[in-house]
Amino acid sequence: MNNPKIEKLVKDLLIELGEDPKREGLQKTPHRVAKMYTELTKGYKTSRKATINGALFSQNVDNMVILKNIELYSLCEHHLLPFFGKCHVGYIAKDKIVGISKIARVVERFARRLQVQERLTQEIAAELQDALKPQGVGVVIEAQHLCMMMRGVEKQNSVMVTSAVLGNFRSDLATREEFLTIINKH
Ligand code: ZN
């Protein structure tokens, strides 16, 4: 999947930065960067159908299902720099459950875009709410942002935490606490 337009832009960027795109180490950089950005933003091209629909099962259970420590890599839309960390997802089914690996796919689908962490958290929660129609869903993301660590205020150790809770994760304090207790247990 070559993208000559992005390659051209990266080459121009190198020149504007004062570099020589013809020197050995940089000759293939436009090609590599174009490929990389295509991969890091592939979430735009995936659909719910491809991510989740084939793996929904009817089941009458009402215990909490949690998938925690899902590795997360995304790109901040303000600086095009990575933010990365962990995502924790929980839900309580109503009549549908989903194959557990698909939850990680949903995270991936929304992380592989230009994002802000707040919206990413919301989008994952809303997608699961929509697809599963569960009693409730909770999503917590803990991430470090390179745009904060290597530029600007240079805060190397700060971790940003965002959460989105819907349904009974929002309305029922005990449910929300159960979720938070489990994801905080090491
Ligand atoms: Zn940023």
pTM given for the model: 0.93
Q: What is the pLDDT of residues 151-173, one digit of tens each?
A: 877 778 899 999 999 999 999 99
87 is catalytic: no
Q: What is the pLDDT of residues 94-105, one digit of tens each?
A: 988 898 899 999
In whole angstroms, give the CA distance from residue 55 to residue 46: 15
Read off φ and ψ for residue 99, nearest 5 degrees: -55, 135
**Has residue 126 been placed in a domain?**
yes
How many domains are contained in the chain? 2
**Has residue 49 been placed in a domain?**
no
**Has residue 26 been placed in a domain?**
yes
Q: Give residue 146's identity as a one-letter amino acid code.
A: L
76 is catalytic: yes
Q: Are residues 91 and 36 in the same domain?
A: no
77 is catalytic: yes
78 is catalytic: yes
Q: Please classify residue 60 by burial: count the beta carbons closer than 10 Å to its beta carbon, then call 0-12 exposed, 13-18 middle and 19+ buried.
A: exposed
Q: Please classify residue 119 by burial: count the beta carbons closer than 10 Å to its beta carbon, then call 0-12 exposed, 13-18 middle and 19+ buried.
A: middle
Q: How far is the CA of 78 from the centre of ligand 1 (A)?
A: 5
Note the helical H segments in 18-157: 29-40, 48-51, 100-111, 117-132, 146-149
Q: How far is the CA of 160 from the centre of ligand 1 (A)?
A: 12
